[in-house]
Structure 1
Amino acid sequence: MSEWKQRCEEEWSLQGAPMPDSVDWKSVYEAKPLGRNFLKNPSPHGLSKDSPPPEPDLPEAPSGGPPIFEPEGDFSGWTTSTETLPYDTSGIPPGAVVCQMGRFSWFSMEQVVDLKAEGLWDELLDEFQPEIVVQDWYDESQLHKNIYELHVTLLGADKSTVISEHSVSPTEDRTAYTHSWKEVSHVFSGYGPGVRYVHFLHRLKNMFFNGFYHTIFTGSSVTIKPTKSS
């Protein structure tokens, strides 16, 4: 057994995982693909889940500058898009005069992780099928009953074949504000052979009403555990 292959097996406890000699084990070891976060820039707002989310700034009067419709931050590494939602007039009684309404939008951020480029090898993904763990944290913005969505798909080599997927769209209890981060997580296990990419997408709801108010996130992650799928 080569020195690099032995290091990989010992440090990641990969007993039972296929480890063919054809793999460049030095490159795998240096890439350290097991246990690290594959997402780039997981906290664009510079915040940590270990500290409470910042309180929103509530100005008494509209800002004199140009309006802001997207959150500010360093979103390098993410592909972003904004979807402005139509006004919700369902709760307005007939004949009522409305001077101003809040305008909601979804801010979407996504990344695609190339598992082989990150150091994983075919036999590990197809036969051992290690657990793929997804985690995210969003703040309790109280803007709406639905402020967060997560959509993660495991894709084949063609980037279009969906092998497994997980989506969540929680409903918020707006009567109980705790001013805390909320965790969203999922473990992909027993997903079958062929996975080569992970597509991570989450959406957070924002509102413009005499100022811009947004739902923020931190600590997004996609990690591979050296644990065989059940």
Structure 2
Amino acid sequence: MAEEWKKKCDQLWQLEAKGVSLPNNVDWKSVYEKKPLERNLLKNPSPHGVSHSTPPPEREVTGIPPSPDEPPQFEPRGDFSGWNTSTEVLPYDTSGIPPGAVVCYMPQFRWFSMEQRVDLKAEGLWDEFLDQFQPDIAIEDWYEESQLNSSIYELHVKLLAADGQTVIKEHTYTPIENLENYSHTWKKVSHVFSGYGPGVRYISFLHKLKNKFMVEYFGTLVTDSSVVVKATRSSP
């Protein structure tokens, strides 16, 4: 019966033809049921309830402070289940204010971080596949061109060892926005890890979004985040 499940996995992904070892000590029934290859391993990839297949929603700017009966909004709204979230309040930037000037309002910026950790063994992947074959690991994300600031998005992805701390490989992306041209579109972020070496057991996926409060709340959206382990590799 175990051999039958192993054969099903091989038929599904054509692994042996790609030089992948299929050892007998793997629970192939569990692997087949979890289908860890070619699927998104992140939970709740669109916590803001939007998709990059449609334009980002346009936000009406009213310039009206919140009602005294309701607390001001400082963080984004959405369903963030599956994500570990945190907020970093940034100091006010007073560098452009001349001495003696009276300032009624100043923008207060914050980073809103969302992180997930993927346990590759728990998802159904096996040691020989990760260590010897070293499949491509594709990362994708889409963030809104919100124009709040020249820096509104960061991505930090780490391939971690079995201790959950040692970094084997990492990718960081910190773009600078062009504030002169307003197009309000989704921007795609992608990266493929390959040839990263043996020992990878976890993936830490963290992105940061900048929001602003000045009379009203203004946020940056993200959507369709994904971590996909491929049934192929681009490095020999």
* TM-score computed with the length of structure 2 as normaliser: 0.95
One-letter code aligned to 2:207: H
Q: How does 1:112-131 map to 2 (within 5 A)?
A: 112-131=117-136
Partner of 2:43: 40
Match of 1:169 in 2: 174
Distance in structure 2 (CA, Å) of the matches to 1:3 and 1:178? 53
Letter in 2 for 1:52: P
| Partner in structure 2 of residue 58 of structure 1 | 61
Match of 2:24 in 1: 21
Note the aligned Cα RMSD (angstroms): 1.1
Which residue in the other structure is 1:6 paired with? 7
Task: State how far apart, in whole Å, the 2-side matches of 1:165 and 1:83 are.
Answer: 22
3-state SS of the aligned residue for 2:79?
coil
CA deviation string 1:14-71 (max 9, x = no partner): 1211110111111100000001111111101111110000012312311202111110
Choose which of 85, 93, 97 in structure 1 pairs with 2:90.
85
Q: Structure 2 unaligned runs (5+)?
A: none
Matched, 1:140 2:140: no
Moved over 4 A (4+): none
Q: Following the alignment from structure 2 to structure 1, what is the Cα–Cα distance between the partners of residues 100 and 135?
A: 60
> C-alpha separation between the residues in 2 aligned to 1:228 and 1:87?
46
Amino acid in structure 2 at the alignment position of 1:43: S
> What SS is found at the alignment partner of 1:54?
coil
SS in 2 for 1:2: helix
Q: C-alpha offsets along residues 148-187 of structure 1, whole Å, 9 cap, x if unaligned? A: 0000000000001100000010000111111210001110
Q: What residue ranges of structure 1 are gaps of 5+ in the alignment?
A: none
SS at match of 2:12: helix
Matched residue pairs, number? 230
CA contact (8 A) 2:105 2:215 kept: no
Partner residue of 2:217? Answer: 212
What's the CA shift for 1:229? 4.3
Of 151, 157, 163, 1:152 maps to 157
Equivalent-residue separation in structure 1 for 2:13 and 2:103 (angstroms): 61
Alignment of 1:188-199 (within 5 A): 188-199=193-204
- Give 2:159's aligned amino acid: L
Contact 2:63–2:216 (CA under 8 A) maintained in structure 1: no
The share of aligned pairs that are identical, in percent, is: 64
For the pair 1:223 / 2:231, whether they are aligned, the reply is no
CA distance in 2, matches of 1:229, 1:27: 27
Distance 1:229 1:222 in 2: 17
Q: Is the 8 A contact 1:150 1:167 kept in 2?
A: yes
TM-score, scaled to structure 1: 0.97
Per-residue deviation, 1:13: 2.0
Q: What residue identity is the alignment partner of 2:204? A: H
- Are residue 95 (structure 1) and residue 96 (structure 2) matched? no
